[in-house]
Chains A and B, each alone.
Chain A
């Protein structure tokens, strides 16, 4: 079974940094594009960033550009999101998502359970 397990969330103060991790199993990780999607409490879904199978950055949402960095370790079956300069507006449940294929425009298929990030003083 495909599994995506996120970790690294927590309660941090404004201006802090966090690194989210997503450990993947049950599929050939380096055959698929991967994404981060977030959902603020009681709100809708927002795409954050994505990366193709060959570690090409698909892009970043305007709201996180310049502050967040996506990366992946294909040998370790892991996806990461380095988040700097966090603000209360970044408070959300962050999901790791496996695409249906390798490239940027392939549909989002399997979602993890998410890791919660709370930014508050």
Chain B
């Protein structure tokens, strides 16, 4: 089971960044999203498609339908510049990560 993310995405400060993760029938599975800033450990942003752990700003939101899961980052800030990974549980492959998307804010 493989999930595809765009390798990179650029967004202007204050705009909304939309990061996608695609796989066949992904909408039938739960998807998590992680942020990894340079030199840091990954941080859970979204789980079960759209839930935010405590402490994660409302600017981060998620959705998942049919073949594509999407992470939206509204009012993007310079501090949001990072790598973003989607992840899902597949009964055959167990835990699978997408290849990651490098978000540049400029």
Which residues in A have some Cβ–Cβ distance to B below 8 Å?
35, 37, 44-47, 50, 58-59, 61, 95, 100, 104-105, 107-114
| B85→A59 contact, CB < 8 A | no
Also in contact, A50 and B97, with CB within 8 A (given A107-B32, A109-B53, A113-B41): no
* A50 B94 Cβ-Cβ under 8 A: yes
Q: State A46–B44 Cα separation when bound (angstroms).
A: 15
A110 to B32: give the CA distance in the assembly, Å.
Answer: 13
Tell me the complex Cα distance, A61–B104, Å: 31
| Contact call B94/A114, Cβ cutoff below 8 A | no
Number of A-B contacts (CB under 8 A): 57
Interchain nearest-CB distance for B41 vs A (Å): 4
Bound together, the chains give a CA A100 to CA B36 distance in angstroms of 19
Neighbouring B residues of A37 by C-beta, 8 Å:
42
What is the CA–CA distance of A114 and B96 in the complex, to the nearest angstrom? 19
Rounded to whole angstroms, the CA-CA distance of A112 and B34 in the bound complex is 14
Point out the residue from A50, A95, A110 that lies within 8 Å of B95, measured CB to CB.
Answer: A50
Given A105-B30, A109-B53, CB of A95 within 8 Å of CB of B41: yes
19 sampled A-B residue pairs with Cβ under 8 A: A37-B42, A44-B97, A44-B98, A44-B99, A47-B96, A50-B95, A58-B94, A58-B95, A95-B41, A104-B89, A105-B30, A105-B89, A107-B44, A108-B34, A108-B44, A109-B47, A111-B41, A111-B43, A113-B41
B residues with a Cβ closer than 8 A to A are 30, 32, 34, 36, 41-44, 47-48, 53, 83, 85, 87, 89, 94-100
Name the prevailing secondary structure of the A interface residues: strand
Distance in angstroms between the alpha carbons of A39 and B48 in the assembled complex = 23
Selected contact of B85 from candidates A45, A107, A112, CB within 8 Å? A45
Nearest 6 CB-CB pairs, A to B? A107-B47, A47-B95, A111-B41, A59-B94, A44-B100, A105-B89
Tell me the minimal C-beta distance from B52 to chain A in angstroms: 11
**Cross-chain contact A45 with B97 (CB below 8 angstroms):** yes
Of B42, B87, B98, which one neighbours A111 at CB under 8 angstroms?
B42
List, in ascending order, chain B residues with CB within 8 A of A110's CB. Answer: 44
B82 to chain A, nearest CB (A): 13
